[in-house]
Amino acid sequence: MSKLGNYVKESYDELVHKVSWPSFKELQSSAVVVAVAALILALVVFLMDFVFGAQNMGWKGLLGYFYALIG
């Protein structure tokens, strides 16, 4: 048997008989964890952008307005 054929046969055997696949419930809980983490990260990035501003878009951010008041 060729090396490629042997590789494909062993790979199939490993995927079918040796790998423990997660259940649908485990996949759902993992997906929820990833979605919540992504939302939290997006919120943090939004808040950083809101506070520090984007000068090239004309928004100085909350800190920019604060510095304008005291400066």
Q: What is the pLDDT along the chain (71 residues), one digit of tens a residue?
A: 699 999 999 999 999 999 898 999 999 999 999 999 999 999 998 888 777 766 666 667 777 777 778 87
pTM: 0.57
Dist CA 32 CA 34 (whole Å) = 5
Reported in sequence order, the residue ranges of the chain that DSSP labels E, i.e. its strands, are none
Output the pLDDT for position 59. 67
Dist CA 71 CA 65 (whole Å) = 10
